[in-house]
A and B are shown apart, each in its own frame.
Chain A
Amino acid sequence: MSARGLHAGIVITALGVALAASSHARAEDPMDMDAVLHRSFRTATPDEWTSRLAQDETQALCSRYRNLPPAEVAAKIREAQERTFRYPGDGRLSGDWRDGAKLAAIGTGGHIGRIQPDPPGRPKGGNCYACHELAKGEVAAGNLGPSLTGFGLRLGDTAESRAYTYRKIYNAQAFHACSAMPRFGTNGWLTPEQIADLVAYLLDPGSPVNAR
């Protein structure tokens, strides 16, 4: 055996050890986020783990870049969201603004745990008022998102504005990667029909959002 061959053999062996050590360390590192989460949320069922703690690729990217992804990552995220849109069976993107008004105000649904879970079957709301001003004169509105009062007056109630509004509620990250707004449709929080009701609440000239 040549000296050179021996040398190469040593390098390969050393590399193998290093790889094994690093993958071992990752699995055992007690401060690895997955390990921390598994220890901390021990009572979560496998289904709750999958739907509430495990991340999809978009959530993982937005977390990694703390919601400021570089341009090429942002473009990749927007592209992925584009493929998630689904529409109501009847194709109507604007429904009943009265039903939308109720959904916009409901902040319950989907709470779990032993301390204060929602009763089974409690409807999930859009909770739009948590972050947005909507109906004129409703002061108990948050400001994490922009004011949407008069939204329909600005955009008009057209096929184009309905499609835009529907898609924005369905998945805001198709427009702005890592937007703070929940992807209500893509994540299955609201149905396409419920989103259409919210579109009506925002755009319909009769809705209190567009009161003059």
Chain B
Amino acid sequence: MTFRDRLLPWVTALASCLVLVAGARAEGRSAADAIHEYREMLEDANPADLVEMRGEELWSTARGPRHASLEQCDLGLGPGVLDGAYARLPRYFADTGRVQDAESRLVTCITRLQGIPREDVVRHWYRRGSDIEALVTFVAARSKGSPVDVPAREPHEAALLAVGADFFFRRSGPLDFACSTCHSQDDRRIRLQEVPNFTDPAAARASMTQWPAYRVSQSSVWTMERRLVDCIRQMRYPEPGFASDVLVALQLYLQHQASGGVMQGPGIRR
């Protein structure tokens, strides 16, 4: 992916945003304060809304060899129940025998209900404008206002939660990095980017409830899988597979830590 040199989007926001950032510097406020104000200014203008609209269309349109919509997709609360479903993921699904996150479960629904081959759905899932991006955005938006609720007491979930926690602290690679290297202390930054302390439930709640999020620098919505894949890339690990156990386990750990926080996403990030 090429770094795009046009970071700042919205026409009217451009000047005021620059002022905000400069102001933040001058007054010694954190970058997060400035971004928070920026978000408030743009309350009606998160481009994630556009992605969400596309996701809704994908959800309700009959597609694939079976000419079916996704309206009977079971995201954990029963077929077709969307409200609050994302806030309770990942969770164990008896019909697949797996703990699944939103991405993984949507692929199950697309393959089973619509008959579209998995490889066609998954091939470019990480690209801007992918169906996965749009569908996850739509599904997550339908949890806005719901508390994150991932107790992970079910045995399969409990086992994978332990894997997620172990992976979070597992160091390897040429830089000796683990997730915890950057994400286990309060008020830390990589350069100017704040990195939440996921070992602290309050910080985990504040962060996780904002995802998925429109990434201004990427002009696309990043799902949590997309976010994690990039963290792992920056740790110089190989690339984990889509919906692989490591990605689901990490989300289980993060959502478990964030439980009790009220979903506000899709959010907006640098």
Q: Do A and B come into direct contact in the complex, CB within 8 Å?
A: yes
Q: Which residues of A are interface residues toward B (Cβ below 8 A)? A: 31, 33, 36-37, 39-45, 48-49, 51-55, 58-59, 62-63, 66-67, 110-116, 129-131, 139-144, 180, 182-183, 187-189
Please report whether the interface of chain B is mostly helix, strand, loop or mixed according to DSSP. mixed
| Interface positions of B from 207 to 248, Cβ below 8 Å from A | 229-230, 233-234, 236-241, 244-247
Residues in chain B near residue A188, CB distance under 8 A: 174
Q: B78 in the interface, Cβ–Cβ < 8 Å? A: no
Specify the chain B residue showing the minimal Cβ separation from A129.
B191
Contact B238 A112 (CB under 8 A): yes
Contact B246 A40 (CB under 8 A): yes
Decide: A66 near B234, CB < 8 A? Known: A51-B173, A115-B229, A187-B174.
no
Name the distance in Å between A23's Cβ and chain B's nearest Cβ: 20
Contact A31 B159 (CB under 8 A): yes
What are the 8 A-B residue pairs with the smallest beta carbon separation, nearest first?
A113-B239, A44-B238, A40-B244, A40-B246, A182-B175, A52-B173, A59-B171, A63-B170
Name the distance in Å between A162's Cβ and chain B's nearest Cβ: 24
Name the distance in Å between B241's Cβ and chain A's nearest Cβ: 6
Contact A51 B171 (CB under 8 A): no
Specify the chain A residue showing the minimal Cβ separation from B236.
A110
**Contact count band on B:** 35 or more
Name the distance in Å between A148's Cβ and chain B's nearest Cβ: 15
Given contacts A33-B167, A54-B172, 20 further A-B contacts (CB under 8 A): A33-B166, A40-B244, A45-B238, A51-B173, A52-B236, A53-B237, A59-B176, A63-B166, A63-B170, A63-B178, A66-B180, A67-B180, A115-B1, A129-B191, A130-B191, A139-B25, A143-B189, A144-B182, A182-B175, A182-B177
Please report whether the interface of chain A is mostly helix, strand, loop or mixed according to DSSP. loop
Residues in chain B near residue A115, CB distance under 8 A: 1, 126, 229-230, 233, 239
Name the distance in Å between B88's Cβ and chain A's nearest Cβ: 22
Specify the chain B residue showing the minimal Cβ separation from A172.
B176
Name the distance in Å between B178's Cβ and chain A's nearest Cβ: 7
| Interface positions of B from 39 to 61, Cβ below 8 Å from A | none
Central interface residue in A40, A115, A144, A188, by most chain B CB within 10 Å: A40
Tell me the bound Cα distance from A113 to B226 in angstroms: 13
Q: B270 in the interface, Cβ–Cβ < 8 Å? A: no
Contact A63 B171 (CB under 8 A): yes
| Interface positions of B from 11 to 65, Cβ below 8 Å from A | 25
Query: Of A41, A53, A144, A182, which contacts B189 at CB under 8 A?
Result: A144
Render B161-172 as a binary contact track against A, CB cut-off 8 A, 1 for contact. 011001101111
